[in-house]
Chain A
Amino acid sequence: MSRTVVPADVFDPEAGLLFGSRCATCGAVHFPPINGCPDCFAASTDRIPLSPTGRVRSYTVVNLGFAGFPKGYPLVEVELPEGIVVLGQLAGVHDPGLLYSGMVVKVEAGPVRVAEDGEAMDGYRFAPVAGEG
């Protein structure tokens, strides 16, 4: 089993779900989940699954990244229906000409980088939803 770069409370790779937090007192939602509420100062929040699909708001292709990342990976800024914006790599699209704002994508588990020892490291990423957008 490969290692993961995303904390377990943020992403469940088997369910393919990202998690945020919702304040039981004021209802504010944050990603990644926060224990206390920064909006109303309540001491506790509930961990909630976020919608798995969202729309691309902006995109880029990273040609000069950190060590261990693939060459020329697309990175997307995705707005989820909750109003949360999540950044992540986009799987399966390498031609920037095929990227567009408004594209519908779904979160999934997959390798995002390679560790110093050569082992693939998993995280969350996005993939286009066929026939949508």
Chain B
Amino acid sequence: MESVVVAGVGMTDFGRFPGRTPASMVQEAARAALADAGVAPKEVEGAFCGTVFGGPGAGQRALKDLGLVGLPIVNVENACASSSTAVFEGVAWVRAGLAEVVLCVGVESMSGIAGALGPDEADLFGSMGVVWPAVYGLKARRHMTEYGTTPEQLALVAVKNRRHAAQNPKAQFQKLVTVEEVLASRPVCDPLTLLQCCPPSDGASAIVLMSEAQARRLGANGRPTVRIAGSAMRSGVFADQAQMGESITALTARQAYERAGVGPADVDTCEMHDAFTVGEILHYEALGFCKPGEGGRYVETGKSAIGGGGVAVNPGGGLLSRGHPLGATGGAQLAELTWQLRGEAGGRQVEGARVALAHTMGGTVYELESNVCAVHVLTV
């Protein structure tokens, strides 16, 4: 499969910015990504906009003031993986020859949202009071019962990702926390406490994708060229079927690894979907970084920390600490990994990173294990 070049990346700070419109955040991120790529708006031949609550025409509304008019613009809703899906589509367009340069943006404005989010309240799950933290609370309890994973191991995920975010000026939370503070924070959905849950955030991200031919014409700017070597995306199967087979993450990752021609042992750093601490532990296992049941030990022994000897997971702080503006998250993961592969990640640099993996989950319609899992493998 021919690789596609990640020519430029950009993102706003993530946090709570109640005065900012989604359009203004997209424009800031897109300007940064286009400048990073050295591309003028007129050279963009297609655009995708990922957002969950941004409403109809979010992409057209945000991009027109940058002069991005006339080109095909596609709005993408795929829950928390909306901008990961936008990039998946953008890669396909470049490979298919529909466009030499594609801009993929993602945005969410969540500061108006109070309380927990969950599946649609009209779904049976939602009407019974199953919110997202409860879904993950149930997963956490099962992992503890089945494998002996401890509350301290769960908390260590939050501590590690906060330590990484402390070196990321764009992260929503940069103040260090301890295991004791994480465990003593407000109970949300037992055994998960508040500091083990990602925040609702405001923010935008942008990625400029380019064909190999166009990248050669423009030249590499003296920087290492980052490529998307393989991408995969799946929707969830029925939950009862999923329990008998491999998880959506394991299946999607296998496809992405095969397409990129790499395996879990080749991955140096990974941005993964840690909406709740237990998610990261489950995904270490499903992505093949450790054996099933050993996710708690993986974080406890420090392997997933930067410089810990394993895969450095969520160097940008993850959803837990960078923040989680749903539609912007996938793009922010790819931006972080691009900085890592170029060696531009400053105090949170994963030394010598050559292969990186981005993993995003999104939503669930009742009866399905998940709506979407998207995995992109980046190389330099």
Contacts and interface: CB of A to CB of B under 8 A. Distances in A.
A64 B196 CA distance: 13
Contacts of A5: 127-128
A75 B187 contact: no
B203 to A, nearest CB: 22
- Tell me the interface secondary structure of chain B in the complex: mixed
B128 A64 contact: no
A90 B127 CA distance: 14
B215 interface: no
Contacts of B145: 58, 101
A77 B190 CA distance: 14
Given A10-B124, A32-B124, A75-B134, A63 B188 contact: yes
Can you list the 3 inter-chain pairs with the closest CB atoms, starting with the nearest? A60-B137, A58-B142, A61-B190
B116 A75 contact: no
A62 B131 contact: yes
10 contacts: A58-B145, A60-B140, A60-B141, A63-B186, A64-B188, A65-B129, A89-B129, A112-B127, A112-B129, A124-B128
A113 interface: yes
Interface of B: 115-116, 118, 121, 124-131, 133-134, 137-142, 145, 186-192, 238-240, 243, 366-367
A66 B115 contact: yes
A112 B139 CA distance: 22
A77 B138 contact: yes
Contacts of B191: 60
Given A32-B367, A64-B189, A85 B134 contact: no
Nearest to B138: A58
Interface string A55-88: 0011111111111010001010100000111011
Interface of A: 5-7, 10, 30-32, 38, 57-67, 69, 73, 75, 77, 83-85, 87-89, 96, 101, 112-113, 123-125
A101 B144 CA distance: 11
Contact of A63 (B127, B138, B139, B187): B187
A62 B127 contact: no
A16 B270 CA distance: 48
A7 B122 CA distance: 10
A31 B128 CA distance: 14
Contacts of A125: 128
A59 B190 CA distance: 8
Contact of A64 (B116, B125, B139, B367): B116
B127 A6 contact: yes
A35 B145 CA distance: 36
Contacts of B128: 5, 75, 87-89, 112, 123-125
B141 A58 contact: yes
B61 to A, nearest CB: 30
A123 B189 contact: no
A64 B238 contact: no
A22 to B, nearest CB: 13
Contact of A75 (B138, B192, B239): B138
A62 B187 CA distance: 9
A44 to B, nearest CB: 18
B138 A65 contact: no
B363 to A, nearest CB: 16
Nearest to A84: B240
B138 A73 contact: no
Contacts of B137: 60-62, 75
A87 B130 contact: yes
A60 B131 contact: no
Nearest to B123: A32
B190 A66 contact: no
A80 to B, nearest CB: 10
Contacts of A31: 367
Among the interface residues B118, B126, B141, which one has the most CB atoms of the partner chain A within 10 A?
B141
B126 A57 contact: no
Given A66-B129, A87-B130, A61 B187 contact: yes
A42 to B, nearest CB: 16
Contacts of A57: 142
B139 A58 contact: yes
A77 B189 CA distance: 14
A112 B126 CA distance: 11
Given A77-B138, A112-B127, 20 more contacts: A7-B124, A30-B238, A30-B240, A60-B138, A61-B190, A62-B133, A62-B137, A65-B129, A66-B115, A66-B126, A73-B129, A75-B138, A83-B240, A84-B240, A85-B243, A87-B128, A89-B129, A101-B145, A113-B127, A123-B128
